[in-house]
Amino acid sequence: MIRRTTDRGEHLSQLALKLAAAETDDDHARDRLVTAAGGDERALSEAHDLLRTDQIYLHERARRLLRAAASGGPVAPPPTDFRNALFTKERALDTMSPEEAFGVLADLEPRLRRLEAKVQARSSDRPGSPWSVLRMMRELETLLGEGSRSENPLLRSPIAERAARLYLAKIAGFDADRPSPG
């Protein structure tokens, strides 16, 4: 069955992600979602379904907020199983500077240091050359994120890939506020 999404459901899913990242009070975040949805439980349920994974801590929290907003009940506590440890690591990685996060990831995946050296060498040879850096960013996608074959779930996390991408773009001389070449 193909499920159609509405603009409202998409908007609410994006709002839930923003609140999951920025709003520390669960009840306040839930209330903001209820207000944004105008009490439309169907739109809240659709937004919940759009966030398909519980494997990323922001998505997991956003789904809990949406579930509570749709039901009118309290926000469920975070999971206490194996995923909770992963969420804690992702949350920590997400709050680190790009340099710190890259260091943590490179300790887990030593090939990142070789990629770092390539980016540094290429950016000093040809400053601002987006095509060579783009090729290296593609190499990054094989080491981190959804394209990684690592057994370590943190290395398969999109948060890990984004943290490394920010750092590598920075040392390549690209402004992190502008779109990266990857």
State pLDDT tens for residues 115-131. Answer: 999 888 876 666 555 65
Residues 105 and 56 occupy one common structural domain? no
Please name the residue ranges forming H helices in 23-155. 26-37, 41-50, 57-71, 82-95, 98-108, 111-125, 130-143
Domain range enclosing 145 = 82-171
Give the total number of structural domains in the chain. Answer: 2
Model pTM?
0.56
Does one domain contain both 67 and 96? no
Higher pLDDT, 1 or 109: 109
Considering the domain architecture, whether residues 165 and 92 belong to the same structural domain is answered as yes
Please report the pLDDT score of residue 133 as a whole number: 67
**166 lies in the same domain as 88:** yes
- Please indicate, yes or no, whether residues 89 and 155 belong to a single structural domain of this protein: yes
Q: How far apart are CA 69 and CA 84, in angstroms?
A: 22
Taking the alpha carbons at both ends of the chain, their separation in whole angstroms is 33
pLDDT, tens digit, for every residue of 61-107?
Answer: 888 999 999 999 999 887 777 677 888 888 899 899 999 999 999 99
Q: Count the neighbouring beta carbons within 10 Å of the beta carbon of residue 50.
A: 21
Q: Please indicate, yes or no, if residue 134 is contained in any of the structural domains.
A: yes
Structure tokens at 66: 């949406």
* Residue 180 domain flag: no
The answer to whether residues 108 and 146 belong to one domain is yes
> Do 148 and 94 share a domain, yes or no?
yes
Claim to verify: residue 101 and residue 148 sit in the same structural domain: yes
Say whether both 103 and 33 belong to one domain: no
Place of tokens 């759009």: 50
What are the structure tokens assigned to 138, written together?
Answer: 């593609």
Tell me how far apart the alpha carbons of residues 21 and 33 are, in angstroms, rounded to a whole number.
Answer: 14
